[in-house]
Amino acid sequence: MEARHRVMSLLLVLVIGCCAWGCRPGAAQVPVPARTDGFVYGGKAPALGETVVVEAYFDPVCPDSRDAWPELKKAVEHYASRVTVVVHLFPLPYHSNAFISCRSIHAVNKINPSFVYPLLERFFKYQIIIDQEGYYNQPTYGKTRATVDAEVAKNLVAPVIGEANLAAYKAGFNDSKSDQATRISFKAPKKL
């Protein structure tokens, strides 16, 4: 009887210990990026309080992001030096190729930050050119991930960065840093 009591006590301590370990603060959280992410539109980031900062979360293959982008650009042009736009890439899980498109933009940013917005706009434009849907879901359902990656590199990335930079793009696309940036960068806490 006493041996059974000890076994039950030991099991209870083990269960409580496992629960306590699993419930510790931060156990289920995603790592926080080393720096705040985002791509400043039209130049360098302003000093704190210098301008009103508008932070936009865009998915390059999302029709709603595509439709919002021209209006946001008009607002930036209208308010000029009083507003700064920072775009954060946000790959939506229900857009089949969102992760690929966001990772592509992070990869070209490593090559040259001036490629970011031309590529983002090319993703938006490409949605309109090909059956209104480009790389947005259904047209790519029968394709492998490798095929879509290759098509994105050839049809969207190469015209922006040039054939000479394609090897650097592919290396950056397969780099774990671009993977991490795509997965967690938009989750960084924002200071208000």
pLDDT digit string (tens) for 87-98?
999 888 877 788
Backbone angles phi, psi at 56, to 5 degrees: -115, 140
The architecture that CATH gives domain 35-187 is 3-Layer(aba) Sandwich (3.40)
Nearest partner of 73 among 133, 124, 134, judged by Cα: 124
- Burial class of residue 5 (count of CB atoms within 10 Å of its CB; 0-12, 13-18, 19+): exposed
Domain ranges of the chain: 1-30, 35-187
All residues at 6 or more sequence positions from 87 whose CB lies less than 8 Å from its CB, including other chains: 38, 39, 41, 55, 56, 57, 58, 120
Q: What is the pLDDT of residue 156?
A: 87
The pTM score is 0.74
141 pLDDT higher than 90? no
pLDDT digit string (tens) for 31-73?
555 566 788 887 777 776 788 888 899 999 888 999 999 999 9
